[in-house]
């Protein structure tokens, strides 16, 4: 890339060279179909199992509890609809207002099929109150799905507290409620130990952690009953049919291992960069509003609203100056619809449309942050002078 400054790591990340190096042989040398019987194919089969082992070490689970998918969207769909398809009757599910659309639209679809769904609101900092999750439980509740880290604001939900409150609830059949978390934005940032989190299912996407796009996993705790969305040749122990994407599976295993190894040192680097960015933005635009709270978010993601401005011209102005950021989530960044996440946090429509998300990553430097602040200052001044 030219001298652009990439401040959009939450949208996607570049494939790491070390990751690509491990993937490369599986494109044209070891290209066997893992399901074929001859010895040549065992190279592919083994590579998948090595990756499964790598992922399971990070999640601290059994290898057999890891299922490869095409990414975070599929993993969320598989968890939510997989539970719904398993039962004979429609039931009830709980989610939150700030989830990714991969989750929310699955709920809408189930709602159309007769399922009852409860979408609980969030605190002003974007986090979910675990007690509200318990309040939403009903005798017929089958699943609670709460994201670990929000993709727009970085807000962190206390999944451990949520699962513990559900498991210890005196409400009837609460102990049978399955818990899913979308950990797509948590991978490489927070602890993914599934036992500590107390979840039955957890989604991860490769392209947020320097693996390729189009690969992900769903962790499914042993004994969890799910119906497959993809039926066919019976791959992935019949839960996810389709010839495996071997190079990308290899890439995901390497990428998640590296991400976990670097997680804590990255965290402290990000704390410093976040501080610099927030202070810098506050200095040039004191009216700017930080969406989310310092103490309840990951430092990688910094989201500001600038009242009186629209996100789109801000993003385009920044792009013109070589800063790549985003407004709301990547999927909705081309539209002027206010972010559903910010609206759920209580922002007005005007505040919600004037938001910019800066998301940093392993190659972000202090100089990048300085240049971002300076570019933002210039863009805000230019846009303000155009509107007067």
- Which residues sit at the interface with ligand PLP, rule CB under 6 A? 71-73, 76, 100, 102, 147, 151, 182, 184-185, 205, 207, 216, 330
Q: In the bound complex, what is the minimum distance in angstroms from residue 209's beta carbon to ligand PLP?
A: 11
Q: In the bound complex, what is the minimum distance in angstroms from residue 182's beta carbon to ligand PLP?
A: 5
* Residue in the shown chain whose Cβ atom is closest to ligand PLP: 72
Can you tell me the distance from the alpha carbon of 234 to that of 249, in angstroms, rounded to the nearest whole number?
17
State the CB neighbour count (10 A cutoff) for residue 37: 8
**C-beta closer to ligand PLP: residue 137 or 360:** 360
**C-beta closer to ligand PLP: residue 285 or 341:** 341
Can you tell me the distance from the alpha carbon of 183 to that of 77, in angstroms, rounded to the nearest whole number?
14
**C-beta closer to ligand PLP: residue 102 or 137:** 102
**C-beta closer to ligand PLP: residue 117 or 153:** 153
- As a three-state string, the secondary structure of 269-315 is HHHHHHHHHHHHHHHHCCCCEECCCHHHECCCEEEEECCCCCHHHHH
| Ramachandran angles phi, psi of 116, nearest 5° | -90, 135
Which residues does the annotation mark as catalytic? 331
| Ramachandran angles phi, psi of 316, nearest 5° | -70, -40
Rg (C-alpha) for the chain, rounded Å, is 21
Q: In the bound complex, what is the minimum distance in angstroms from residue 180's beta carbon to ligand PLP?
A: 12
Can you tell me the distance from the alpha carbon of 60 to that of 195, in angstroms, rounded to the nearest whole number?
7
**C-beta closer to ligand PLP: residue 61 or 79:** 79
Distances (CA, A) of 165 to 199, 200, 295: 12, 14, 22
Q: Which residue has the tokens 């559903």?
A: 340
Q: In the bound complex, what is the minimum distance in angstroms from residue 359's beta carbon to ligand PLP?
A: 10
| Ramachandran angles phi, psi of 224, nearest 5° | -75, 130
Q: In the bound complex, what is the minimum distance in angstroms from residue 216's beta carbon to ligand PLP?
A: 5
């Amino acid at each position: 890339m030219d001298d652009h400054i990439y401040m959009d790591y939450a949208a996607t990340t570049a494939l790491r060279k070390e990751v690509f190096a491990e993937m490369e042989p599986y494109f044209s040398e070891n290209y066997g179909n893992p399901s074929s019987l001859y010895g040549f194919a065992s190279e592919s089969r083994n590579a998948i199992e090595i990756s499964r082992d790598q992922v399971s070490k990070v999640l601290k689970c059994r290898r057999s509890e890891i299922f490869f998918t095409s990414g975070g969207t599929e993993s969320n769909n598989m968890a939510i609809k997989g539970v719904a398809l398993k039962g004979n009757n429609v039931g009830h599910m709980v989610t939150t207002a700030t989830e990714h659309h991969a989750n929310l639209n699955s709920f809408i679809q189930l709602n159309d099929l007769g399922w009852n769904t409860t979408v609980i609101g969030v605190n002003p900092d974007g986090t979910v109150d675990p007690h509200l999750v318990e309040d939403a439980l009903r005798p017929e509740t089958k699943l609670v799905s709460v994201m670990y880290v929000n993709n727009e604001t970085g807000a962190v939900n206390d999944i451990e507290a949520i699962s513990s409150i559900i498991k210890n609830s005196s409400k009837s059949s609460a102990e049978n409620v399955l818990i899913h978390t979308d950990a797509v934005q948590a991978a490489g940032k927070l602890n993914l130990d599934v036992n500590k989190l107390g979840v039955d299912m957890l989604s991860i996407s490769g392209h947020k952690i320097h693996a390729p796009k189009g690969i992900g996993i769903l962790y499914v705790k042993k004994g969890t009953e799910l119906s497959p969305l993809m039926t066919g040749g019976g791959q992935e122990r019949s839960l996810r049919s389709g010839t495996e994407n071997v190079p990308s599976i290899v890439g995901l295993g390497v990428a998640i291992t590296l991400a976990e190894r670097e997680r804590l040192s990255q965290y402290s680097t990000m704390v410093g960069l976040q501080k610099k960015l927030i202070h810098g933005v506050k200095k040039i635009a004191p009216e700017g509003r930080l969406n989310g709270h310092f103490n309840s978010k990951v430092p990688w993601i910094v989201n500001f609203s600038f009242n009186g401005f629209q996100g789109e011209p801000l993003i385009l102005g920044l792009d013109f100056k070589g800063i790549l950021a985003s407004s709301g989530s990547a999927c909705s960044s081309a539209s002027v619809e206010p972010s559903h996440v910010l609206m759920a946090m209580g922002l007005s429509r005007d505040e919600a449309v004037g938001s910019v998300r800066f998301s940093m990553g392993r190659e972000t430097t202090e100089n990048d942050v300085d240049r971002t602040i300076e570019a933002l200052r210039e863009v805000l001044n230019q846009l303000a002078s155009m509107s007067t």
